[in-house]
Amino acid sequence: MNRTDGYYLGVDGGGTKTAFVLVDRDGRERARHEGGSSYHVEIGVERLHLVLQEGVRAVLEQAKASADEVRFAFFGLPAHSEDSQVQPVLDVIPEALLGHHRYACGNDMICGWAGSLGGEDGINIVAGTGSIGYGERQGLAARGGGWGEVFSDEGSAYWIAAQGLNAFSRMADGRQPTGPLLALLRREFALASDLDLCGRIYAKDTPQRDRIAALSRLVAQAAAEGDHAARRIFDQAGQELAEIVDGIRRRLAYPPGERVALSYSGGVFQSGDLILEPFRRSLAACSPDYEIISPRCSPATGAALYAARLAGETLALPAAA
C-alpha cells in the first residue's frame, strides 16, 4: 500500500546552486527545484534566507503540498558548522519557512555522502566549487578538507582554476613552456595585454569564488588539447582528493583488509577520466581496500533520504538522478 501521508524534504546547498527535492514515503520524487548559491559567506544570511524560501515554496507548490505535510527536512548548507557565531542564525532559518521544528541543518557534505552511498557506511568526496570529504563507519563520522578556498579546498574547481591562472602567468612570463591554456585564457577574457588578466580577476563587481571556479573548464579543455601544465594540474587534483579521502579512512579506523566503499560527487568529476584516473591511482597507492562506487542518486535526493533517516524511517532507494 502506498504511504502518501507526508513528505521528506532534502536541500543540497552549494556555492553555485542549491537543489530542493521533495519525496514521498515510498521514496518517489514528487518535486524538484534549483535555486542560486546558498554560500552565506559570500551572499550573506539575508540572501540565503530568500534562496531557501523560494526553493521550499517552489517544491511545495509543485507537489500541491503544504509545509505541515513535511514530516522532516534536512538542509545541507555550505560552511555550516564552520563558524559557531553564525551557526545559530543558520539553524533557525528553516523554522521560519516551514512553521515547525521537524528539520535539521548540517553541512552539505552529508548530502553528497547520503546520496552517493544511499546512507550506507563509506566515504564520499565532493569536488565542486570547493572540496570536502565525509564518511561514516559503525557510528563514527569524520570529515576532511573543506577549509575554504584561501588555504584549502584542494582539488576543487576553484583550486584547479587558481592553479591554471598561475600556469598562465608562468607561460606569459616565459617561466615555463607555453601551451593551449595561454590562448584559451587570452580568448576568454579578450586580453589586449596578458597583464590585463589582473584587472579581470581582481575586479570586485562580480562574486569572486564562483567566477574563478568556472575557469576550471578552460583548464580541462587545455588538458584535452595536450597542455602538459593543465594535465599536471588535474593529476595533482586527483592526488589531493585521494589524500582527503585517505585521511578520513584513517580517522574512521578502518582496519587493513576491510572494504571501504567510496563514492564521489561534484562538478569536477564531470571531467571524467581526466580526474578519475589520477584519483584512482593515488587511492591505490594509499590502500588496496577502496571500492569506488558510482553515485547512486543525487546529493539533493540524499538530503531527503537523510531527512527520513533522522525521522526514524528508511526509504526505498530511488533510481539515480
Q: Is the pTM of this model over 0.85?
A: yes
Confidence of residue 2 (pLDDT cuts 50, 70, 90): very low
Q: Which residues pair with 143 in a beta bridge?
A: 134
pLDDT digits (tens, 9 = 90+) for 80-121: 999 999 999 999 999 999 999 999 999 999 999 999 999 999
> 235: helix, coil or strand?
helix
Phi/psi at 260 (nearest 5 deg)?
-115, 105
Architecture of domain 119-295: 2-Layer Sandwich (3.30)
Residue pointed to by grid coordinates 590562448: 183
Residue 15: its pLDDT value, please?
81
> 114: helix, coil or strand?
helix
Nearest CA-CA partner of 250 in 304, 290, 309: 290
Give CA separation, 55 vs 20, 43, 227, 256, 301, in Å.
6, 16, 41, 44, 14
Nearest CA-CA partner of 23 in 73, 78, 93: 73
Average pLDDT over all residues of the chain: 94
CATH code for the part of the protein at 7-117+297-310 = 3.30.420.40
Residue 206: its pLDDT value, please?
57
- Strand order across the 290-292 sheet: 140-145, 131-137, 122-127, 260-265, 290-292
Q: Average pLDDT in the 216-220 region? A: 98
pLDDT digits (tens, 9 = 90+) for 180-193: 999 999 999 999 99
Domain ranges of the chain: 7-117+297-310, 119-295
DSSP conformation class of 11: E
Answer with the residue of higher pLDDT: 210 or 108.
Answer: 108
Using the predicted structure, report yes or no on whether residue 169 has a pLDDT greater than 80. yes
Residue 209: its pLDDT value, please?
85
Residue 318: its pLDDT value, please?
64
Q: Which residues pair with 104 in a beta bridge?
A: 74
pLDDT digits (tens, 9 = 90+) for 250-292: 999 999 999 999 999 889 999 999 999 999 999 999 999 999 9
Do residues 201 and 191 lie in contact, with contact meaning Cβ atoms separated by under 8 Å?
A: no
Q: Do domains 7-117+297-310 and 119-295 have the same CATH topology?
A: yes
pLDDT digits (tens, 9 = 90+) for 4-57: 589 999 999 988 899 999 999 999 999 999 999 999 998 999 999 999 999 999
